[in-house]
Amino acid sequence: MGSSLTVRSARVADVAQMACVHVRCWQETYRGLLPDAVLDDPTLPAARERFWTAALSDERYRENQAAVAERGGELIGIAMAGPPMDNVAWARQLYVLYVRAAEHGTGAGPALLQAVIDAAESAVLWVADPNPRAQTFYRKHGFIADGTAQIADGVREIRMVRAV
């Protein structure tokens, strides 16, 4: 981890690298929670590229904020937040926050979170359960589980909220 961490707004030119980080983080995080056939699907990187292209260029997502973390010119993390999908009780919803496992504990996660959600904003997110590392991270940053759970894509998720 010799080179310094840079966090900046995501750009359309980042889409291919963002998709690679997204897929790699899913593989590192959800192995055992999602079927291997999903995580190892050869079409997954292209699907994530389409997702990020839309997220960064489609007018429907203009209120979203996306950021990337780089170290030594290589993308190591991604994040995106925007208006809440279901409930207007919170100012923002965190949709994506992934950091490569080798970079856990380096400050990339908190920097990405801060880049997409102001600390003074109330926020909501859904996190896989079980995912103790992520849940601990979010608690450290003021989020608490509110008792709401859902099944999304076959994975149990719990809702965590941060009031301000």
Domains, the chain: 5-162 (3.40.630.30)
pLDDT digits (tens, 9 = 90+) for 30-61: 999 889 999 999 999 999 999 999 999 999 99
Residue 87, pLDDT > 90, answer no
Return d(Cα 13, Cα 10) in angstroms, integer: 8
Q: So what's the pLDDT on residue 3?
A: 85
User: CA 88 to CA 149: how far, in whole Å?
Assistant: 18
State the average pLDDT over residues 20-39.
94
* pLDDT tens readout for residues 59-77: 999 999 999 999 999 999 9
Q: Where are the alpha helices (DSSP H) in the chain?
A: 15-30, 36-39, 44-57, 108-116, 132-140
User: Please, what's the largest Cα pairwise distance for the chain?
Assistant: 42
And the tokens for 100?
Answer: 């490569």
- Label residue 154 by pLDDT band (50, 70, 90): confident
